[in-house]
Structure 1
Amino acid sequence: MTVRASILGLLQVATWSIGLSLVAYGQPSQIGLGLPSHPPSTDASRDNAMAELGQKLFFDKRLSADGSISCASCHQPDRAFNDSQRTSQGINGCVGARNTPSLLNAGLMKTQFWDGRRASLEAQALDPFVNPCEHGLASQTELIRLIQVDPTYIAGFRQAFSVDLDAVEGEQVARALAGYLRTLPVGNSPFDRYYYGDDQTAISPSAKRGLTLFAGRAQCSTCHQIGKESATFSDDQFHSLHIGLGAIENRLATITQETAKAQREGRPVNSNVVSDRDVAELGRFFVTLDPSDIGRYRTPSLRNVAVSAPYMHDGSVGTLEQAIEQEIYYRTAQSGRPLILTPSEKTDLLNFLRVLTSTTAQWFWNAADHE
């Protein structure tokens, strides 16, 4: 067993142990500090069984066309549940058109994927399995068949859903995967301990100045919102930074017309948004067919942003420093007034973003340095 494999095994146990307490008891004061609260489970035993089954499915490479890809191949625990690549890579080396988002706190978001094309964790869970540029299975029926021929899944489906393998359905697989993803909320960052835990020593003076800029003159909190009791650092809305549109602007009319026609005719085009770079640049338009949504993407949470590079929907921004410059440019263009930050102010803003890393996420990331 390699050092990486050993570390990954430990990370799986760690995330499950953390998630188990969240599912069964709601969000503990330490792990969930700063996150929106949810009522405790009404059936903790069933929810825990569902999440444990979902974890097994999440890490199972056999559930792909060539046995090489699992959900964890792109959403790696030791990379804050992303892959640190510009865009994702599926079976046969197929390179996708979208950056892999972190799954930490994904259950707190109102929609899923960069364009919000799925409304829940359950609704999105099976899409990657049948995407030719991800797991590459021919259909959900094939996914179910692969599960049904594996006797190691018998106990999991019986405990979670009281069904035998021959009765397994796609809905149950989706619920199990969603159940696992809901065990991944992590708060308790230095920011949370300072802002919600009233620990004045939790962050540096520079980070405090960065927070003042973030919530004030830099206008970051307009979209990356901070609430009185909790913060997801997202408004769950869709905005455009004009990133990527330059590559298709001369063909935009044709691309949008073809995409709209395919959608209206009910053709299976969902996979295009992952594999076709032209379609991927349309953003929210792919969902709404509203021209005003061209190039708009869901506001990503900034939690753990320091360990989830690269940034933007296409992974084209490699560092936090570059991301800050991009946002300054956007705010200037949006308001029509120049937003000017001094080098020291940019450093303060950078130091603030760094204190949004949860203790648990940082541990995952540091573990990867010892591979």
Structure 2
Amino acid sequence: MVLSRTFVVFPLALLSLLNLGTLRSSELEEKPPAEPLGLKPVPWPKDNPYSASKAELGRLLYFDKRLSADGTVSCATCHKRECGFSDCKEIAVGINGHKGTRHSPTIINAAYYTHFFWDGRVDSLEEQCKGPIANTKEMAALKDAHEAHRECVNKVKSIAGYQPLFKKAFGVDQPTMEEIAQAIATFERTILSGNSPYDRYKAGDSSALTAEEIRGMAIYKKTGCVNCHGGFNFADDRFHNIGVGMDQKDPDPGRSAITGNPKDFGAFKTPTLRDTANASPYMHDGSLKTLEAVVEFYDKGGVPNKNLHPLIRPLHLSKEEKEALVSFLKALSGEGWQHVQEPGSFPQ
């Protein structure tokens, strides 16, 4: 009897363990990719958690030009991998050659932002994804945002090949704008940059940075760059007036157009400096072509105006100090986004 009971119990216990192992294997498949060295865990939204099927669907939608009104512009048009997920242009260009008003910021490490667009007008990556689809200077032909979104949704619904992908990712085969935005946002949260020479140096590899880069890091801290471009993402997710464009006839109001606060006039969101060497030109208007030009701009103290940030002042750096600072900025280029490729084909 004892042997019999042992024989019966053992297979049941083994079966339980096997089931548990299968469950854990399934759970592992739904875990997002590991963040590169130097980054914190991506804050995945509770209402839009990661799934591999959702990320892959988002990749397809991100590169699919059919989401635009005339089928010529996709998210990737203004956020190209080869341009550091910016677009290598001063100012973004949308459908029918319509020129926008600002430079396309990189989406690398956008997963960590709490405000989006240069003026911070939305507070989630999902809402950011909806913006260009409804903007007539980017992807829309209709001025009414709701109508533009409806047109995009109807296009996606008309593509039979997308239906099983939405079914797998969301449990629906007739998506709304919410599911489209959530899928794209999920994909964009996987576009990360870490494990740079700087990260490896901070982790204990003393050979990861050159002597010049180490000197540049000291200058970066001494001059106060770290006050706005601090933390693991080298961005404070806040808004500052550093004088860019303030010498123009009609300066871009920046954040003040959203808040209505005159003190926010000319203030723009601090971008990450990770992989900044791959995302030129720079500033919200794309007016500075190189990192050397950016350093020169700060060295001169920006452009004086009534809202200029108090920390923006002439730095009086030497030629060698400027070169070291640029070298350090280049050492912030890392890994975690280079694997992204445009799909070879799209759902039909």
Give the alignment's TM-score, normalised by structure 2. 0.81
User: What letter corresponds to residue 352 of structure 1 in structure 2?
Assistant: F
Q: Please state whether the residue corresponding to 1:246 is helix, strand or coil.
A: coil
Structure 1 residue 37: deviation in Å? 2.1
User: What letter corresponds to residue 323 of structure 2 in structure 1?
Assistant: T
Q: Please state whether the residue corresponding to 2:258 is helix, strand or coil.
A: helix
Write the mapping of 1:54-73 to structure 2, written as runs, cut at 5 A. 54-73=58-77
Structure 1 residue 215: deviation in Å? 1.2
Structure 1 residue 329: deviation in Å? 2.6
4+ long deviations beyond 6 Å: 39-46, 362-365
User: What letter corresponds to residue 239 of structure 2 in structure 1?
Assistant: F
Cα distance in 1 for residues equivalent to 2:153 and 2:70 = 16
> Which residue does the alignment assign to 2:244?
243
Structure 1 residue 338: deviation in Å? 4.2
Q: How many residues align?
A: 305
Change (3 A) 1:92 1:155: same
Structure 1 residue 26: deviation in Å? 5.0
On the 8 A contact 2:243/2:303 being kept in 1, the answer is no
Higher-Rg structure is 2
> Which residue does the alignment assign to 1:108?
112
Write the mapping of 1:1-371 to structure 2, written as runs, cut at 5 A. 24-25=30-31, 28=34, 32-38=36-42, 47-138=51-142, 139-165=148-174, 168-195=175-202, 197-216=203-222, 218-226=223-231, 231-248=232-249, 281-330=252-301, 334-335=310-311, 338-360=314-336
Q: Cα deviation per residue 1:41-69 (whole Å; 9 max; x = unaligned)?
A: 99999621111111111111111121111
Answer with 308-317 or 71-80: which moved more.
71-80
On the 8 A contact 2:125/2:185 being kept in 1, the answer is yes
On the 8 A contact 1:310/1:318 being kept in 2, the answer is yes
Q: Cα deviation per residue 1:200-233 (whole Å; 9 max; x = unaligned)?
A: 11110000000011112x110010003xxxx110
Cα distance in 2 for residues equivalent to 1:321 and 1:177 = 34
Gaps of 5+ in 2: 1-27, 143-147, 305-309, 342-348
Cα distance in 1 for residues equivalent to 2:110 and 2:312 = 33
Give the alignment's TM-score, normalised by structure 1. 0.76
Q: Cα deviation per residue 1:343-371 (whole Å; 9 max; x = unaligned)?
A: 11111101000100014557889xxxxxx
On the 8 A contact 1:46/1:160 being kept in 2, the answer is no
Change (3 A) 1:177 1:137: farther
Aligned residues: CA RMSD: 2.7
User: What letter corresponds to residue 318 of structure 1 in structure 2?
Assistant: K
Cα distance in 2 for residues equivalent to 1:360 and 1:314 = 27
Structure 1 residue 246: deviation in Å? 2.3
Structure 1 residue 110: deviation in Å? 1.3
Change (3 A) 1:362 1:210: farther
Cα distance in 1 for residues equivalent to 2:338 and 2:301 = 29
On the 8 A contact 1:79/1:364 being kept in 2, the answer is no
Answer with 43-52 or 151-160: which moved more.
43-52
Cα distance in 1 for residues equivalent to 2:331 and 2:56 = 31
Change (3 A) 1:214 1:173: same
